[in-house]
Each structure stands twice: as structure tokens, then as C-alpha cells.
Amino acid sequence: MVSDHLPPKMVSTFKSEYYFPMLYILTDAWIDCNAKNGKIEYEWKKDGAVVQNSKYVSVDKDTGTLRFNQMRAIVYGTYQCFAKNDFGTSLSKPFKVKESSIGAFPSKEPQEIQCKEFEHCKIPCRDKPECSPDSECKVQWFIGEGTKGKVDLSKRVGVDGNGDLHFLRTKANDWPWVGLNYKCGVWHEQLKMLLVGSQTTLKIITASRVPTLSPNLIYKSGGNAHYRGEGVLKCMFSGYAAPDIEWVSPDNVVIKNSDKYVITDYERTLIIKDAMQNDEGLYTCTGNNTHKINPQGVFLNVTSAPMLDSESKNPQMNDLYVSVGKNATFYCEAISLPGESAPTAPRWMKNGVALQIDGGKYIVSSNQQMLIVTNVQKALDSGAFQCMSENSEGVLLKDALLKVIDPITIIQRPQGSYKIMPGDKISLGVLSTSEPSLSLRYNWTFISLQGEEQVVKDNDIWKISRPTLNNLTIDVSQVSDPSVVLGVSGEYVVDVFHNYDSERIKVTVETEIITTGKLVVTQSFIISIIIVRIGRSS
């Protein structure tokens, strides 16, 4: 199918959210929108209104690039890309553009924390500022003046998911000298900004002896993973000696580093990559030193916006090429992952505009997951159709193209039946037309008088025209053996087709040859025998 005779087909994928900082003059802030099929003009909408070029934002209608120049409050909102040509409109799923930001620590006096030597000690990151998006924010710890004295993480020292600093086993030099405070810092990667606060003075109470402490779970966190994204689980154990940590999957397999799993942060963090539904479940972490505690459960929840049901017997939002006058049927069987809220019933659009379901031109099933476009016509119905469904995790928007094509028309066909006898030659010719951009093909099948079916191939009797294969000649002009003629008598079927439509023509080829036991004779021979016998009796 020639691509410039089709509606656009969106090929870009979009995240659910994009973050850009307020008041910044940006040089590398843009979102690309790309679609295929011919010359396309792009349009962007924000909160339902067409985006106009300004000093804050600009749109390239030829390339589809949405560029942010300066971020102001009026720029943030919900965006959607529309790709248009003469044959229809495709659109992206809606997504949000939000402010990338970081707050500030309040100005407060340092606090003192006392901890016992060799035991667990926690220093909270108090009044931690809001930081958005979370993926751009990281907590770091410092000691002393400025930010040169960075606290190094180790098997003994860690930071939990809340940003609190843990000495899993304290040492006397964790309190190096009076007047040096521990400080919590929040680094924003996109803004390249570090904020420091929550100063704490640590005092270590010296122990009289070195204890042996069993592993003790002091922090754990489960996680959510978007479908095909990453899930992060954390477990932190205190103890003396420092415990080793073992991770076990929901199907009770000990986890090692692999393409699927990454164990990091001194075994305290498990990353599950390319999360699928079967990765959801209860993982366990166990701390081991000279003692071992019972496994601790940590749950991974795999979430997703609605998805099309890949196990359905119906094709989901497939592009369709349908002949004039026939019906086009689209399926949008949206499902949620188990345990999540059910998706909304699909809403149907054509070229980005909601369809008026009237039971005439457009018919939907009771659950709205099937749309039938009846009696399709070229000018009226060709275009891009969309279905949209939502759940608590996001939006599903899928489009599918409908190309209405000329039907296969038989201009010339063989007669319905023919008689054949030795010495005959029969031509079964077919002339057909269809959509100009599609090539018609022909398949010939023969069904014998005994009901046996076979594909017709060139031989001494059958001759198929080349290269179009639209004519079959049955040539027994040089045949005198009645059994050969009898063998090519039966039903001939020719299928005229292309990738999206087909027509079938049937032709019966009969003969006056009959069989009597093993004897094969013609009716004319039988008549001559009867005449001879009558002459003798008279």
C-alpha cells in the first residue's frame, strides 16, 4: 500500500510526565513527535487548546518538535500531539509537563544524638525538602564545614529510602572531634543544585567490651514498578559482625546478579529490571553473620496503564484495508494487570474527534470494546480511528488506520459449465480489477469427480498463463484416451485475491464419457453398438 495515501501513524512513544524547571532559560528542552505515511503537518495542544508560538514555547509544524524556551506557570499542563495529512489524523496519548523543583531546609539549630559503640545508630534527615521528580533527587551526607567532607557509604554505613543515615555498627571515630556536625544534603541532578541542612552532632558512648549482635532488620521498603520498567526493593540489617544479605525471589530462587537482577548498595538494594507481571510478588531478604534471622518479606507491585489483551482471539486495533460496501471491525479489549482497578470502557474517536455512536454508521458492543463501521465508503470512512481507556495508573491510547479500497471486480469470467471430449481445448479466462496500488493474484484448484482436491499446476494438459496466472487452458486436442479426459473432468475453482480481499469463481467441466466396470467408453460409442445390434436382429 502506498504510504502517502494513508492517514498518519504515530511512531513516537511518550512518557507520562516530563519535568522542566521554572524561570530557567532552556537550551535543550524539547519533545519530539513523529508519525509516518506521507507529508505530515503537526499540531500540539495544551489543556485542549492549540499551542501558539511564543517566547516561552514553540512548535515546528513540519518536524513535530515542541520546544520549551522559558518555563512559566502558564507553560505547565497536559499536552498532546496531533499528526495530520489529507487522509486523517493520528494523535499521541496525553501527558503532563510539570515543574522540576527543590525546596529548602529550614534554618534550625543542630541537634545531638547519642549512640552506643558497636551498636546501630540512626541520624535522621530532618525536614528534608520536597524534591521533584524523585528520579532526579538523591540524598548525600557530609561532615564538617562545607561539603568537602562527604560521608562514604560502606557495608557498615548506609542511607535508607527516607534519606536517613545509618551506622549499622558504630565505631568510636564516627564521632571524630567536637564541633563537627553531620549534615544531610539533597542533590537535584537536573537543576545541578545541592541543598544542605539537618545538622546533627553525634556523641558515641564507649563500650567496655565488643559484643556479638545478631542481624536485626532496621529498614525495609517494597516498591512499585511500571510494566517493563524497574522495581527497587531495600533491606538494611544491623549486627556485629556486619551481616551479609541474601535475596530470594517469589518462586523461592536465590537471586544473583544477572541481566534481570542487580544487587547493589552492599547487598542492601535489589533492582528488578524489565518488570513483568510474573515479577510481582513477595521477595525475601535475610541478614546473616554468625547468626541468621528469619527471612523478611518485601513486596514488589508491578503496575501499568491499561493494555490491549494480547491473549484475545480478536486482533487488537489492527490497521484495516476494507473494500467499499463492507464492514470494518476494530477491537479494543483493554485490561488492567491483576489487582489493579478495572479500565474504563473504551472511548472511540476518528481522527482525534469523538464518534457519535448512533447504531447506524457506527455500532459498538455492549462493553464498548468492539466498534463496527458499517458499509464503508472511500471518502467518508477512510482515516485513523482511536480508542482510549484509563485506570489509576495511566492512559491507553491506540490508533488503527482504516483504508477503504476498491472492491475486486470481475470484468470477464468463464461460463458456469463446459463439456469436454477428446480433441477439445477449453480456455477458462478471468479479467479483474481492484485498488490500483494492489496486485491481484490468482490460484487455481481442481476437485475431481471422486472429490479429491489438488492445486492446478502446468502439465501436458493444464496450461496456466504467465505471469498473471489469470487464464487456465485445458487442452485435450491431442488426446484420444477417454480416461485422460475423464481425469480432468470435475470442478475448477479460481481464487482472485490480494492481501485484503478475495473473490472465488467456480466452473464445472463435464464429459459424456462414462465408465462400465473397467471399461471406459463414450456415449457415441454406446449408440453405435446399439445401432449395430438393431441391424443384426432385423
Which fold does the domain 307-405 belong to in CATH?
Answer: Immunoglobulin-like (2.60.40)
Q: Which pTM does this prediction carry?
A: 0.81
Please give the average per-residue pLDDT across 121-144, as a whole number. 95
Q: How confident is the model at residue 536 (pLDDT cuts 50, 70, 90)?
A: very low
Q: For all residues of the chain together, what is the average pLDDT?
A: 91
**pLDDT at residue 350 above 50?**
yes
Q: What is the CATH number of domain 3-101?
A: 2.60.40.10
Please give the average per-residue pLDDT across 281-298, as a whole number. 91
**pLDDT at residue 533 above 60?**
no
Q: CA angle, corner 383, sides to 377 and 389, nearest 5?
A: 120
Other residues' Cβ atoms within 10 Å of the Cβ of residue 88: 23
Q: What is the model's pLDDT at position 24?
A: 75
Please give the average per-residue pLDDT across 180-204, as a whole number. 94
Secondary structure class of 105 (helix, strand, coil): coil
- Interval 86-117: pLDDT, tens: 999 999 999 999 999 999 999 999 999 999 99
Q: What is the model's pLDDT at position 476?
A: 96
24 exposed, middle or buried (CB, 10 Å; 0-12, 13-18, 19+)? middle
Q: What is the model's pLDDT at position 437?
A: 85
Q: What are phi and psi of 485, to 5 degrees?
A: -65, -40
Report how far apart, in Å, the C-alpha atoms of 498 and of each of 305, 454, 456, 501 are: 37, 21, 19, 6
Please give the average per-residue pLDDT across 136-145, as a whole number. 94
d(CA 442, CA 453): 17
* Cα dihedral 339, 340, 345, 349 in deg (nearest 10): -140
The helix (H) or strand (E) run that includes residue 487 is helix 482-487
We find that the CATH architecture of domain 409-516 is Sandwich (2.60)
- Interval 20-69: pLDDT, tens: 999 877 778 899 999 999 999 999 999 999 999 999 999 999 999 999 98
Pick from 12, 67, 65: nearest CA to 36: 12
3-101 and 307-405 agree in CATH topology? yes
What's the residue count for the chain?
A: 538
Residue spans per domain, the chain: 3-101, 103-303, 307-405, 409-516
- Interval 196-225: pLDDT, tens: 999 999 999 998 888 878 899 999 999 999
Strand locations in 253-333, DSSP E?
261-264, 269-272, 281-288, 296-303, 307-308, 320-323, 328-331
d(CA 340, CA 336): 6
**pLDDT at residue 520 above 80?**
no
Q: What is the model's pLDDT at position 294?
A: 87
What is the percentage of the chain residues whose pLDDT exceeds 70?
Answer: 94
Please give the average per-residue pLDDT across 445-456, as a whole number. 96
**pLDDT at residue 194 above 80?**
yes
Q: Are 97 and 77 in contact (CB under 8 A)?
A: yes
d(CA 389, CA 367): 12
Tell the residue number behind the cell numbers 542492601, with chain if given: 268
Which fold does the domain 103-303 belong to in CATH?
Answer: Immunoglobulin-like (2.60.40)
Please give the average per-residue pLDDT across 362-369, as a whole number. 96
Q: What is the model's pLDDT at position 535?
A: 36
Please give the average per-residue pLDDT across 337-348, as a whole number. 94
Pick from 203, 213, 205: nearest CA to 156: 213
Q: How confident is the model at residue 147 (pLDDT cuts 50, 70, 90)?
A: confident
379 exposed, middle or buried (CB, 10 Å; 0-12, 13-18, 19+)? exposed
Q: What is the model's pLDDT at position 523?
A: 46
Q: How confident is the model at residue 3 (pLDDT cuts 50, 70, 90)?
A: low
Q: How confident is the model at residue 538 (pLDDT cuts 50, 70, 90)?
A: very low
**pLDDT at residue 515 above 50?**
yes
d(CA 218, CA 235): 8
Q: How confident is the model at residue 293 (pLDDT cuts 50, 70, 90)?
A: confident
Beta strands at 394-405 and 383-391: parallel, antiparallel or unpaired: antiparallel
Q: What is the model's pLDDT at position 177?
A: 63
- Interval 469-491: pLDDT, tens: 999 999 999 999 999 999 999 99
Q: Which residues contact 370 (CB under 8 A, 6 or more apart)?
A: 314, 329, 330, 331, 332, 364
Q: What are phi and psi of 278, to 5 degrees?
A: -75, -5
